[in-house]
Amino acid sequence: MVDTSHVETIPISSLNALEYCPRKFYYQFVQGETLVNEFVLEGTLAHQRVHQSGTHTMRDGEMQTTQLYLYSEAFRLSGFADIVEEQPGMLVPVEYKRGQQGQWLNDHIQLCAQALCLEERQPGKPPIAYGYIYYVSSRRRVQVPFTQQLRAGTRAAIARALQVAALKIPPPPLSGKLVARCPNCSLLPLCMPEEVRLLQSQKRR
């Protein structure tokens, strides 16, 4: 059993990387490695539109708070919600993502973790039923129900993140079908440098 007591908090956004690839999470969170590719740059530009913090009143009277800082002592999480909408009797987190909806649940788990933090701030109130992910390139706003299954998966991801963060060396690279995720990863040159050099040499021929 890995001792996680020295890991203070996990960034909520890092859960997304953890679900995509634990090795990527380790490089980013533990070793502080960041490489920028076109996908990272697009995501950064998309978030700049909602990264001016403040509270705003919409046309329908609904309140929106942008860049709301979240923290959970129970789950050892911290980070920001892009937008939190105040609907009657409930707060609703909204996360902005570049591109289109993917095949994996990493975005859903990041959003659900925001809901867990919001719920901790409002003890005694009903659980948050859903949130939204806004995919910038497709301009689609997708509702994400916070089911018991998703909540359980999110709690498991948090526990796994704490364990991976406590490791002395990075986890191994992805294997099997999950290797399909590697080509679009910004950290591929760092994670698998020999493979990248081999591909580059083959392209020059």
pLDDT tens digits, one per residue of 7-65? 999 999 999 999 999 999 999 999 888 754 444 444 444 444 555 566 666 656 577 88
**Distance of CA 72 to CAs 29, 39, 94, 122, Å?**
18, 29, 18, 12
Q: Which two tokens stand for residue 188?
A: 């591929």
In the prediction, which pLDDT does 147 show?
A: 97
Helices then strands, each counted (H, E), the chain: 7, 7
Neighbours of 132 (CB within 10 A): 18
- pLDDT-derived band at 196, boundaries 50, 70, 90: very low
Neighbours of 149 (CB within 10 A): 10
Q: How far is it, in rounded angstroms, from Cα 32 to Cα 34?
A: 7
C-beta of residue 182 within 8 angstroms of C-beta of residue 188: yes
Q: Model confidence over 102-142: pLDDT tens digits?
A: 677 899 999 999 999 999 999 889 999 999 999 887 888 99
- pLDDT-derived band at 181, boundaries 50, 70, 90: confident
SS3 38: helix
Q: Model confidence over 134-178: pLDDT tens digits?
A: 988 788 899 999 999 999 999 999 999 999 999 999 999 888 998
In the prediction, which pLDDT does 129 show?
A: 96
In the prediction, which pLDDT does 120 show?
A: 95
- pLDDT-derived band at 72, boundaries 50, 70, 90: very high
C-beta of residue 107 within 8 angstroms of C-beta of residue 93: no
Q: Model confidence over 83-97: pLDDT tens digits?
A: 999 988 889 999 998
Listed by start position, the domains of the chain span: 10-172
Does pLDDT of 205 surpass 80?
Answer: no
Residue appearing with tokens 């996990």: 10
Neighbours of 136 (CB within 10 A): 17
In the prediction, which pLDDT does 138 show?
A: 80
In the prediction, which pLDDT does 37 show?
A: 42
Q: How far is it, in rounded angstroms, from Cα 140 to Cα 137?
A: 8
Q: Specify the fold of 10-172.
A: Lambda Exonuclease; Chain A (3.90.320)
Residue 11: strand pairing partners: 78
C-beta of residue 129 within 8 angstroms of C-beta of residue 145: yes
pTM above threshold 0.95:
no
Residue appearing with tokens 């979240």: 70
